Amino acid sequence: MKRFIGFVTKEFYHIFRDKRTMFILFGMPMVQIMLFGFAITNEINNVNIAVFDQSKDSETQQIINKISASKYFKIVNQITHEAQIESVFRTGKVKAVLVFEKDFIQNLQNKKTVKVQVITDATDPNMANTITNYINAILQNYSQEINKNVKPVYQIQTQTQLYYNQELKSVFTFVPGVMTVILMLVSAMMTSISITREKEMGTMEVLLVSPIKPFQVVIGKVFPYIFLSIINAAIILLLGVFVFEMPIEGSLFLLVLESILFIITALSLGILISTIAQSQQTAMMFSLAGLMLPVIILSGFIFPISSMPLPLQILSNIIPAKWFIIIIKAIMLKGATIQTIWKETLILIGMTVLFIAISIKKYKIRLE
């Protein structure tokens, strides 16, 4: 036991004395969460649009007012000729143009039907889609208002309701996502690097020719990172809750337990990498190329798994991060209990056991 404590102490010295390690451990999580939380977002705010009003009556004016009153749009341009539409898009200053037909108010009163055209700049398809939806919603709302006194003949009304994230805040998906990426990266990369460093520096040779047992070396390497990763997870959660107003609907205790489970999964993956990689650089490449990208792309963090081609959907099952994202979202947003996420939890436990079993089998008690 004394031997083990001595080893862990040495590991802490390594971590605290290396500025790069310290930065990756504590700087990166904060930078990432801030980046994802503030800069990268699917929501629209203050989008510049132009209006081509060919009717210029009280009715169109009301609609325009309604649109500009919302915080989503800002009307920056009034167009007078059709030819101008193209040119305002070219300048890139507006993302959408709203066109009202001639004799708008007359048509509305006589024919009971009017046309509004929404032209969007689809160089950014997601943005264009969102803008169209938002404008549609505003127009829909308006037509309901003017129809209040008229009794419609037949009408099907769809009523959509968004559960768990009513405002469609993208932060709600980014916080769990970033937490997963960070924990994966920190845990797996740092442990794999720290074990391969011993090999590279030649200190592994001295460690091997000593009475310390292989599992003591491995656990001794992992132990400080479990501790530091928990601190990391806590920082991310605190930022999520207090800066981005992310709710934690479920039990905090369960969330912490699941996070520790995932940290251990990632650490065991790191050990596995280090048994294969001979140098710090290979370990780094393995962790970055082999973990970072799949974690970001295949875990459902950014791209929904259900819309991926089938082979990728199948492949995503072996990514531990996928299961953790499901778990953490369920707990934080849906208030899930262990009854609903036991399957995912079991998968993570299974993966961990597998990784550790392979690592112990592959751990070399000699140099070759």
Partner 1 sequence: MSIKVQNISKSYNKIKAVEAISFEVNEGEIFGLIGPDGAGKTTIFRILTTLLFADEGTASIADFDVVKEYKSIRNCVGYMPGKFSLYQDLSVEENLTFFATLFGTTIEENYDLIKDIYIQIEPFKTRRAGALSGGMKQKLALCCALIHKPKVLFLDEPTTGVDPVSRKEFWQMLKRLQQKGITILVSTPYMDEAALCDRIALIQKGEILKIDSPHNIIEKYDKTIYDVRAKNTYQLLLDLKSYTSRYSVYAFGESIHYTDRETEFDSEALKKYLEDKKHTEIEIRMTKPTIEDVFMDL
Residues binding partner 1 (CB under 8 A): 2-3, 5-7, 9-10, 13-14, 17-18, 201-203, 205-212, 365-368
Closest to partner 1 by CB, 207 vs 226, is 207
Closest to partner 1 by CB, 6 vs 27, is 6
Closest to partner 1 by CB, 30 vs 207, is 207
Closest to partner 1 by CB, 170 vs 216, is 216
Nearest approach, Cβ of residue 269 and partner 1 (Å): 25
DSSP state of 72: T
Select from 25, 17, 7 the least CA-distant residue to 263.
25
- How far are the Cα atoms of 71, 294, 297 from residue 312, in angstroms, in the given order? 39, 10, 10
Nearest approach, Cβ of residue 14 and partner 1 (Å): 6
Nearest approach, Cβ of residue 9 and partner 1 (Å): 8
Nearest approach, Cβ of residue 3 and partner 1 (Å): 6
Closest to partner 1 by CB, 42 vs 203, is 203
> What are φ and ψ of residue 53, in 5° steps?
-100, 105
Q: Which residue has the tokens 């710090």?
A: 280
Closest to partner 1 by CB, 199 vs 322, is 199
Half-sphere exposure of 119 (CA within 13 A, CB side): 15
Encoded tokens for 274: 């280090």
Burial (CB count within 10 angstroms: exposed 0-12, middle 13-18, buried 19+), residue 278: exposed
- How far are the Cα atoms of 2, 62, 166 from residue 333, in angstroms, in the given order? 44, 38, 11
Q: What's the first-to-final CA gap in the chain, in angstroms?
A: 28
Nearest approach, Cβ of residue 23 and partner 1 (Å): 16
The Cα 321–Cα 183 span in angstroms is 9
The stretches of 152-287 forming alpha helices (DSSP H) are 171-184, 190-201, 203-208, 214-242, 252-276, 280-287
Nearest approach, Cβ of residue 359 and partner 1 (Å): 20
Amino acid at 170: S
| In contact, 165 and 246? CB cutoff 8 Å | no
Closest to partner 1 by CB, 9 vs 106, is 9
Nearest approach, Cβ of residue 13 and partner 1 (Å): 6
Q: Which residue has the tokens 């939380």?
A: 37
Q: 50's torsion region: left (phi>0), alpha (psi -120 to 50) or beta? A: beta
Nearest approach, Cβ of residue 8 and partner 1 (Å): 11
How many residues belong to the chain?
A: 368
Closest to partner 1 by CB, 19 vs 148, is 19
